[in-house]
Structure 1
Amino acid sequence: MAHDFAPRPDAVPGCALCEQAGGVVLWQDDAWRVIRAEDADFPAFYRVVAQHHMAEFSALLAPERARCMDIVCAIERVLIEQLRPAKINLAALGNMVPHLHWHVIARFDWDSHFPQAVWGPRQREVDGGAPARLGMPLHDLDACVVEALVRRD
């Protein structure tokens, strides 16, 4: 299911998301790629990454913004339906990596940082590890995400 990643000819040198996939590439088209971040504390952490370098969401035309949000919403719905998290966190920060990308993160009351942000202070250790607490294998969750994105096209 994972896709290979190759930097585009117009990649910006030094940009982490131009030069690297940013995680496990699950789906992509000419404008966007969806990756699962490899984070042991937050296994249901996905990113929607612009294939072309740009820093701000407002740089997109209205149809491109709508398509991006459709992708973000499709992932969010899968996480809600499959995992029943306490909350879904959505963010497009870009302070550290100024390449347009959205974070879609399932949060649980048992996770290591809840209710703090994933970048905030750890609140607890998760017995057995976070991936084991999800209730489904990551490859099955990834398959549900891909199915939702393909069905949406």
Structure 2
Amino acid sequence: MQTQDCPLCQDSGGELVWQSALYRVIVVDEAGYPGFCRVVLNQHVAEMTDLPPEQRTAIMNAVWAVEEGLRAELQPHKINLASLGNMVPHLHWHVIPRWQDDRHFPAPIWAAPAREPITRKPDLARLKAALASRLLMLETFTKE
């Protein structure tokens, strides 16, 4: 079910990396946070517990595959995972690479900035390809 007033029902929410029947993975254009991704459920559902267990598992496996890909490609100091949905109650997970010199570290990226942003320019095409490859392997493995 889609709703007219939900931005994640109306728009992809970022640059599409991968799409399955259940979810999509997007790269978000967030200044100072290269590789910031979201795993977004394709249907309008607010909470993980609204899903059957096999769909919960599939979503979390996608989150972990994105985390692994980001770690392998970008070598951040930390990965933050968050599922908030307070402003957009459409199930989605934030997968955010963090560096000790990023603008907000060690606080969440939604906190007041602690320093000026550092510019990092990863190869976005390479990152997207690496993430898509991991997600394809995940989809292939779970269908066998």
Q: TM-score, with normalisation over the residues of structure 1?
A: 0.87
* Equivalent position of 1:124 in the other structure: 115
Kindly provide the amino acid, as one letter, of the partner of residue 145 in structure 1.
L
Q: Give aligned pairs, total.
A: 139
Counterpart pick for 1:55 among 40, 46, 51: 46
Equivalents in 1 of 2:109, 2:115: separation in Å? 12
**Which runs of structure 2 are paired with 1:43-122 in the superposition (5 Å)?**
43-122=34-113
Three-state SS of the structure 1 residue aligned to 2:95 is strand
Equivalents in 1 of 2:93, 2:125: separation in Å? 21
TM superposition shift of 1:126: 3.0
Kindly provide the amino acid, as one letter, of the partner of residue 56 in structure 1.
E
Equivalents in 1 of 2:78, 2:91: separation in Å? 23
Equivalents in 2 of 1:138, 1:111: separation in Å? 19
Kindly provide the amino acid, as one letter, of the partner of residue 135 in structure 2.
L
* Equivalent position of 2:142 in the other structure: none
Equivalents in 2 of 1:76, 1:105: separation in Å? 8
- List alignment gaps of at least 5 residues for structure 2: 140-144
Equivalents in 1 of 2:34, 2:88: separation in Å? 21
TM superposition shift of 1:137: 1.0
Q: Deviations over 1:125-153 (max 9, x none)?
A: 134x2x33xxx312211111111101111
* Equivalent position of 1:3 in the other structure: none
Q: TM-score, with normalisation over the residues of structure 2?
A: 0.92
* Equivalent position of 1:140 in the other structure: 126
**Which runs of structure 2 are paired with 1:22-41 in the superposition (5 Å)?**
22-41=13-32
Equivalents in 1 of 2:7, 2:37: separation in Å? 16
Equivalents in 2 of 1:34, 1:149: separation in Å? 9
TM superposition shift of 1:115: 0.7
- List alignment gaps of at least 5 residues for structure 1: 1-9
Three-state SS of the structure 1 residue aligned to 2:116 is coil
**Which runs of structure 2 are paired with 1:8-27 in the superposition (5 Å)?**
10-27=1-18
Equivalents in 2 of 1:39, 1:59: separation in Å? 29
TM superposition shift of 1:25: 0.9
